[in-house]
Each structure stands twice: as structure tokens, then as C-alpha cells.
Structure 1
Amino acid sequence: MELTLLDHTDGQLTDDQRQLATKLLNYAADYLHVDASAEMSLTFVLNDEIRQLNKEYRGVDRATDVISFAAEENGDESAFEIPAELRAELPENLGDLFICLDKVPEQARFLGHSAERELGFLVVHGFLHLNGYDHEEPADEKKMFALQREILDSYGLTR
């Protein structure tokens, strides 16, 4: 999978965090059998930037931990239609994932697990959203959260 990783944290993102996110996203992509040519971006941000994104796109004026923007949601109509033969040759664009680095240690302390586990949770949670999973309905939540736990546990980031 082609990953574009951006750091909007004024240098607060560590190499270890960058490596964990990259390795875990590739692991999750393999786990879900995502095509190797698929593309996505992951941007690490701080409270102010994610608060602005949350306000602008979700109408919620507060910082949050993770926001996902799926690029090719089912049922979306694009401004132009790409011919089927050309579409088959293009890589799938999964979308854009934003993780608030400020929230990682805060939530890890609150939940009583490591910052690595919390970062892993946010990465996998957002990645699953980019792949069509959600937790709006109880049955969907059960399915998504079980898969999150399965991926994190098999990767070695247990609670």
C-alpha cells in the first residue's frame, strides 16, 4: 500500500511513532487483503488543527482523536465518470486519515494502557473507517470493534 505520511505537529511526532503507524497500517492492509496498489494519507496533527477539521466537516467545535475521510465511498457520485477500463488501471484511493498526537498520551492514561497501544488503536480505527467500517449501529460497532481488537492483538499491541 502506498502511504503518504505528513507531520503537522511542529516536530513532536517521534520516529518510533512514525514507524509504528507505518508498520501497523501495512499490517492492517495485509490483514484486510487491501490491494497493494491502494493509496492513502495519514496526517498527524495537534489539538488546534483537528478541532478546526472537526468543526468544519462534522459541525463539532472541539478537538477529537481521529478523523477519517474516505475517498471512494459507495454510492458517491463523482463530478466526472472515469471509463471502466481506465479505472481498473488506477490505484484505489482509500482516503485521508488525521490523528491528533495530543490525544494519544491523554487517552492512554485515561484508559490505563500504553501510548503505543493508544496510537495503534487510533490508526486501526481510522483505517477501518477508510475501508467502509463504521459503528453507527450496535451490530456494526460490534463487528468493527472486534476486528480492531483482532488486528491489534495479532500485531502485538494488546491492552
Structure 2
Amino acid sequence: MNFPFKLYNYIINAYKKEPYQVEISQKYFGTDVFKITNLPSHIHFHKYIKQTELLQRAHLLITHGGYNSILEAIYYEVPILVYAITHDQFINSQRIEELNIGFDLRHMELSGYNINKISHKLMDSVEIKEHIKDLKSEIIALHNDEVRKYIDEDYVNGNL
């Protein structure tokens, strides 16, 4: 599932002057459907990204709000910016805000400036990081193999 094309432009503008490495997955990147040129050297598009590997070093996840992405972000203790597109994602985005582990982009006027500001607020918030850590502990305490197999390759491989 992909974001509306204009959202990618806002994301690029939000981070073009930041020191962060930005990795964006867009399955149509490099095709006639989706071409971008003159990107800053720290912003990269990929047709596919292994999200769990990326989350191990990420400071923020921008997602459409699928359940697996949310679980993975919680497991790796990464705040979430969500832009819901369909079905359960709207409920998930509401829950992300209720749990104070991220922010729903639908609640603001989209622009590079606004995305940058809310990103910094999430990444700098000790309170949000604590909520994510607490939620991770609750999930792990469930000992739910079906949930954990989606978020922890080491668990699946018997390394924990």
C-alpha cells in the first residue's frame, strides 16, 4: 500500500535539511508511475525495505498504520507517524494517539514544515518513548508467539 504521491513530496521537504538518513519504500519508485530526481544524498527511495532491519536503527516510522508495522515499531521502541489509507488503519491511527505512541497526520494540515515539527516532537518526547517501552513490555508479557513471530526474527529463530 502506498501513500498519495503528494505525501512523498512533503516527506522529502520535511527532511531535506535534516541530518537524518531517510529511507522510503515505494513499490513504484523508478518506474514511469513514480520518478523522483535531484534527491538530497541522505534521502533514499527503495522498491522494498525490510522494515524490521530498518526499525532497529530508526528514530521514527511513518506508516499507513497496518497492524504489523505498529507491532514492529513498538517492539523496536520507535515513535509512529501514521497516515491511514484504508479499513482498520483508521482505527489503528486513532489508537496510536490514544496510547500516546505517535501521531495521526490526518489531524494537521500536511506540509513539509508541519511533518518536520511533529517528527521532532515525537522523537524528542521522553513521555512518548516511555509509553512505547511500557506497551512493549505488556506485549512481551503476553507470551503470545503469534504476535512475537511477526516482530522478532531472533525469537522465531530461537535466539532469545
Pairwise TM-score range, normalised by the shorter structure = under 0.3
More strand, by proportion? 1
Q: TM-score, normalised by structure 1?
A: 0.27
Q: TM-score, normalised by structure 2?
A: 0.27
Taking CA–CA contacts closer than 8 Å with sequence separation of 6 or more, which of the two structures ends up with the larger relative contact order?
1
